[in-house]
Amino acid sequence: MQAMDESISCGVRPRPLSGPRVGPQSRTAARQLVVFLHGWGSSGDDLIQLAPLFATALPDAEFVSPHGPERCDQNPAGFQWFSLARGEQDRTAAAARAVADLEVFLADERQRLGLAENRVALVGFSQGTMMALELGLSRSFAGILGYSGALLPTARTTSGADVLLVHGAADDVLPVEGMYGAVAELAALGARVRYHVRPRLGHSIDQEGIALGADFLRRQFLG
């Protein structure tokens, strides 16, 4: 619970996160944990729909999809990890706070399931990919799977994380050029990064991307 202690000592208490979850398809105790991080203006109810598709590759995994800590400032029906209506410095600070929230959430989830950090994988979409990379690069998670995302402009280190980035060639929200830049930066930092570009796909996840992601997670957890 180090993240909670650090946040409190700085005068900022972690915001509690919650969201839908799906237990292991095998109906046994969870051997892995897959954490979905949704995009801006969405919710955990969106990405948790991927759980049955990934469960075919990981029948012993539990899946959880927390809602972001804030109501979206342009879509009150959804959530955000941090506001897009801020300057770069404020966005960076807000993202750091959301990362601290996630660290506490993950510590609680791991304690509940009795899982080591290398039994956890992060799966993000769009802003959720930014959060997965920001949190996961310096940790010993099993892997980071990011769809249609980018890197935040912050200084970072990596523990040699395993990363797969999947992006649509026709993405007009976060153009694919940003993914290429992220791949180069991650490789320079020492991450083991792979990527796949989906032709004609916009800001979305398609069936091929799901298949690629499920195979990546299976290999990370099961070899």
Residue 169 has pLDDT above 90, yes or no: yes
Q: What is the mean pLDDT of the chain?
A: 93
pLDDT band (50, 70, 90) for residue 10:
very low
189 vs 2, higher pLDDT: 189
Half-sphere exposure of 76 (CA within 13 A, CB side): 0
Q: What is the pLDDT of residue 153?
A: 86
164-181 mean pLDDT: 97
8-32 mean pLDDT: 88
pTM tops 0.85: yes
**Phi and psi angles of residue 56, each rounded to the nearest 5 degrees, phi first:** -65, -30
Question: For residue range 134-164, what is the model confidence (pLDDT) as tens digits?
Answer: 999 989 999 999 999 999 988 677 878 999 9
Terminal C-alpha separation, the chain: 30
Q: In percent, how much of the chain has pLDDT > 90?
A: 85
Residue 216 has pLDDT above 90, yes or no: yes
CA dist., res. 139 & res. 118, Å (int): 9
Question: For residue range 87-134, what is the model confidence (pLDDT) as tens digits?
Answer: 778 888 999 999 999 999 999 999 999 999 999 999 999 999 999 999
189-195 mean pLDDT: 95
Q: What is the pLDDT of residue 11?
A: 55
Single out the residue of 170, 68, 72 nearest to residue 125, CA to CA: 68
Q: What is the pLDDT of residue 58?
A: 98
pLDDT band (50, 70, 90) for residue 198:
very high
CA dist., res. 223 & res. 208, Å (int): 21
Residue 31 has pLDDT above 70, yes or no: yes
30-35 mean pLDDT: 98
Single out the residue of 77, 134, 138 nearest to residue 102, CA to CA: 134
Range with the lowest mean pLDDT among 11-15, 119-123, 178-182?
A: 11-15
178-190 mean pLDDT: 94
